[in-house]
Amino acid sequence: MPPLRERKEDIPDLSLHFLQQFSNTMRKKIQGFSKDAMQQLVEYDWPGNVRELRNVIERVVLMAEEELVTRADLPTHGVVAEEFIKTNRVPRTAEQLKQIKKQRREKLTADIERKFLLEAHERNEWNITNAAKDTGMDRRNSQNLMRKHNLKP
């Protein structure tokens, strides 16, 4: 099967499918994408193919606060970091290196935190107190982390 960048016409359908899937899972009422947001999704090259698209939509649903996903809701994919990774270039300045490291750290931390919360809450049928106990977290800290990732029972 050709890479997703060669099947741009599939991106809108796949994006809507994942949006509906994750909206249902996370119990959110997200209706769709703005025209600009969809255009940005279609224009991106998706080096990680469908898996990357799926992960991006999952993250968008997790963080979304409105019923329509806008361009501002979409991650920049760590624009600087991604550009260097895609082209195999090495940063030229300490500032570029610092920015890349920060973006990668933030993305990795957010992904791990989100998965940690989702799995803990699914194991405990979305009972916040039980999930906090199960993970060894203080309930208040668990709730703060849920708020940070816009997760609601």
Please give the angle made by the CA atoms of 71, 76 and 80, to the nearest 5 degrees.
Answer: 150
Query: Where does the pLDDT of residue 76 fall: very low under 50, low under 70, confident under 90, or very high at 90 and above?
Result: low
What is residue 98's predicted lDDT score, i.e. its pLDDT? 77
> Which tokens hold the place of 4?
């997703």
List of domains in the chain: 1-75 (1.10.8.60), 94-147 (no CATH)
The pTM assigned to this predicted structure is 0.52
Question: 4-8, 103-107, 125-129, 146-150: which range is least confident on average?
Answer: 103-107
Out of 60-64, 97-101, 122-126, give the one with best mean pLDDT. Answer: 122-126
**pLDDT, tens only, 23-48:** 999 889 999 999 988 988 888 878 77
